[in-house]
Chain A
Amino acid sequence: MMALDDRKTNFKYIGTRPDRPDGLDKVTGRARYGADIQAPGMLHGAIVRSPHAHARILKIDASKALALKGVKAVVTRADFPTGLTGEDWNLQENVMAGEKALYDGHAVAAVAASSALIARDAAKLVEVEYEPLPHVTDVDAAMRPDAPVIREGAADYSVPEGMHPNVVRRIEFGRGDMDAAFAEADEVLEATYRTEATHQGYIEPHACLAQLGADGKGELWCCTQGHWFVRRMCASVLGLDASQLRVTPSEIGGGFGGKTTIFIDPVALALSRKAGRPVKIVMSRSEVLRATGPTASASMDIKLGMKRDGTITAAQGTFRLQGGAFPGAPTAETMQCAFACYEIPAILEIGYDVITNRPKQAAYRAPGAPMGAFAAESAIDELCRRMGLDPLEVRLKNAVKEGSKSSYGPTYPRIGLVETLEAAKAHPHYSAPLGPNQGRGVASGYWFNWGGETSVSMAVSEDGTVQVSVGTPDIGGSRASMSLMAAEALGIPYENVRCNVVDTGALGVNEPTHGSRATYASGLATIEAAREIAGKLCQRAADKWGIDAEAVIWEDGCAKPSGPNAGDFPPMPIAEIAAEMGQTGGPISGHFEATPNGHGGSFGTHIVDIEVDPETGRTTVVRYTVVQDAGKAIHPAYVEGQFQGGAAQGIGWALNEEYIYGTDGRLQNPVFLDYRVPVASDLPMIDTVIVEVPNPGHPYGVRGVGETGITPPLPAIANAVAGATGVRLRQLPMTPPRILAAIQANG
């Protein structure tokens, strides 16, 4: 029995903008984030970190630290199990160095003490003897034959003989006759583009409180995007049984992909096991910047052919990414997203994942996609300007649509790129006049989105209100979206739903809030769980009325006879059924679990106006418009928020943010004063247009919206700077000195 229409289009709650359920706690300071969690008798942990980019660890002497009053335990790699392989070994090696420190900031030991100040003092007393080794932090330098070898044997099957051991993966794909296709082009551009590593920059540093006994049973409270990931990773790194470790997520102060992995969590657990007391660790900002995941940096060669009418005939790219001292740079995603917006008959892409003496990269909002888009969308713009073509018309001419072969292989299902381009073209921003020293740039971008393992439970309370238990931490208002979907599916008021993010002990495995999946996947599961509940509510009403359940429908929060033949009974509201459910068969719950894979990809197109001061090279973002396909916006205010936030991060990446390494291999700007993210006075209002091309893979048409928005800003701003100054910057960030130098070099 399907109590509700399979695909709804007339919505009562979806598309409205109610207050978020956690709003009150968050404006009053009551919401509890990672560093706000405490336990009786807890100790405080501090980490000893390598000051060297690459060094052999000869000896660790903790005797002076242990002699300090209040110090309860010190751990090193010797306190972790041996014999791990693959990504488990990478994780363990990253959270606590073994034979070598692999980057500036790499953890080498940790201390637990009765106060945070004592722990910090004790960390300074741990004596580590290093033998510094030659280091390399640049991706191109790391591939050269004379580059220091970071680790032998890290390369996989794909790397051909003769490449430097720092190259750990090679990827290649493409189709078509490249020579013939380039011969058809009227103009061919060849250029090299570079992006620097940037950090996710969440305002909340990593924090956790851990308790682990000699019996292998543990509790962990932490700020994370995915507590089942944390459980699995900590269990692997420490040799625990996953089910014996319960992980409870706190409220999370931003993640953007950077909180989908572990750093301090297993260290706190190891300290707790050794000290026999709970241990809390809170990172400082400089620890966050030096030792948690920034994104990869990239060096990319593009060759692009275009006809005089704007048709792209061929595209070729070589993409070199470094993701720190471990395999895992998002090279494949960079390649797959670079030309994903266009139907190109001949394409060849080659990519390399390279290791360097930098921190292990972590996912950052559409990981890899912004770099590829920067190269590809800049190159398209260069040819448009060279041939005097309108950049939106050229994009429309080549845009992928349903049935197009993607640049990365498969044929696209229903997608919304053309709709975003049409909306951008029709937007008043695109035809508004520009002032002196101003330029306008446009760019499009793509992200696949994701489904992932999902488990959601729902239960009816005695008064007819409903609780939803989800496993995806709420980073940007997802509890409001889940509550809206539950309300819609059950026909009950939004206020009658309470959505809780529950711990690992309460549900089956859930992947993190990543891949723009929470509203799609937990939302889909919420709707399915609600449908199961509606079916049970219909059964209870049918039993009371003495008719078949098939003759009962669920509508507007009530059981109703399906028609005149079913019988003449007044609608029975959920509250009435709930009040006596204990006597009519017991509690009423719904549950849904799956690995849904109907996530639809999301395309976006951005327009930006930039003003450049020709005397200083300083840029000002004058106007910004984001157009993106949301499939169906559940809570439009939070969809707009994702668009705006993605644009702001992309603007930072384009103009200010970068990891700066000295010749000593140490990070030179590990504070927010020097690693400068956009502040309120750097930005204008960010206009948004929500395009809705429903995703057939979700009951209400949802497409994830979180990630795509960071992809177009990098090239859009470079394209606008080219318009304002007549010079093309192919290296990010486009800082005032770089822009000024380019203007002066141009005469």
Chain B
Amino acid sequence: MSMMHVNTTVNGDEVEFLCDSRETLLDALRDRLGQMGAKEGCGTGDCGACSVTLDGRLVCSCLVLAAEAEGRQVGTVEGMAEDGGTLHPLQRKFIEHAALQCGICTPGILVAAKALLEQNPDPSETEIRYWLAGNLCRCTGYDKIVRAVLDAAAEMREDA
């Protein structure tokens, strides 16, 4: 079985890797590139724990083949904080609002929420709930997650 050679960009860094043609982007990120932030919760696109952006579009990386990343821009939770470690407002607000308990869904939810705020800087509670409906959280009941996203959006609008 011959391996495929893939050139891609992850969080702004050019990277290359070899992979089996059946490997998913999630597998490649985690096993080939050491980016463990995206998690596999289901492998069938139902839970959103593996959420990343591909050329700016929110995707479940378990449903994208690794080879499809060729020549494209991948964004993961590891790329959310600025160089130097300053957290994205969403990351800060998630800690402040206790919007995570076990934290396994947090990377995917942060990536998804960031994608939401990029296209809708002033979402309503309902809009946040429907946007995040593809990201399962079993611990929190979503209350504090939704509040954290509302608060981060408000802060980002003030700073804009």
Contacts and interface: CB of A to CB of B under 8 A. Distances in A.
Q: Do chains A and B touch in the complex (CB under 8 A)?
A: yes
Interface of A: 17, 19-20, 22-24, 26-33, 35-36, 115-117, 200-205, 251-256, 282, 284-285, 475-477, 635, 637-638, 640-641, 644-645, 647-649, 671-673, 677-683, 685-686
Interface in B128-144: 128-130, 132-144
A117 B23 contact: yes
A204 B40 CA distance: 7
A26 B42 CA distance: 20
B152 to A, nearest CB: 11
A630 to B, nearest CB: 15
19 contacts: A29-B76, A29-B78, A29-B107, A203-B136, A254-B138, A285-B47, A475-B102, A476-B101, A640-B98, A640-B144, A641-B98, A648-B138, A671-B44, A673-B44, A677-B136, A680-B145, A683-B142, A685-B125, A686-B141
B133 A681 contact: yes
A117 B77 CA distance: 26
A253 B104 contact: yes
Nearest to B132: A680
Interface string B82-97: 0000010001001111
A672 B130 CA distance: 17
A618 to B, nearest CB: 15
Given A28-B91, A637-B98, A681 B129 contact: yes
Contacts of B135: 679-680
Q: Is the interface of A mostly helix, strand, loop or mixed?
A: loop
B102 A35 contact: no
A304 to B, nearest CB: 31
A201 B98 contact: no
B142 A680 contact: yes
B18 interface: no
Contacts of A200: 138
B156 to A, nearest CB: 16
A202 B138 CA distance: 6
Interface string B3-41: 000000000000000001011000100110001111111
Contact of B142 (A202, A476, A648, A671): A648
B46 interface: yes
B98 to A, nearest CB: 4
Interface string B107-120: 10010000000000
B101 A641 contact: yes
A644 B98 contact: no
B104 A203 contact: yes
A252 B102 CA distance: 6
B57 to A, nearest CB: 20
B53 interface: no
A221 to B, nearest CB: 14
A284 B46 CA distance: 13
Most buried by A among B27, B101, B102, B130: B102
A648 B141 contact: yes
Contact of B138 (A23, A28, A635, A645): A645
Contacts of B142: 648, 680, 683
